[in-house]
Amino acid sequence: MIDAIIFSKNRACQLHLLLESIERFTNLFNNLFIIFYSDPEFEKGYNKIKEYSSKYNWIQQEDFKRDVLATVKKCSDYICFFVDDNFIHRSLLGSGCVDFVFSHYDIFTLSLRLGKNTIVQNWQTKQKTPMPSSISKTPDNDILVWDWTEMPPHTNFGYPFSVDGHIYRKDMLLEKLTYDFDTPNALEGRFPIQGISNKMACFGHSIVVNNPINLVGSSENWTCNQVSLEELEKKYLEGYTIDLDKLCKNEIIACHQGMKVEFKC
Domains of the chain, residue spans: 2-264
β pairing state of 120-122 and 136-137: unpaired
Separation CA 91–CA 203 (nearest Å): 12
> Which residues, given as ranges, of the chain have pLDDT below 50?
none
Report the topology of domain 2-264. Answer: Spore Coat Polysaccharide Biosynthesis Protein SpsA; Chain A (3.90.550)
- pLDDT recorded at residue 40: 97
Residues 6+ apart with CB under 8 A from 179: 190, 191, 192
pLDDT of 1-45, one tens digit each?
899 999 999 999 999 999 999 999 999 999 999 999 999 999 999
- pLDDT recorded at residue 235: 97
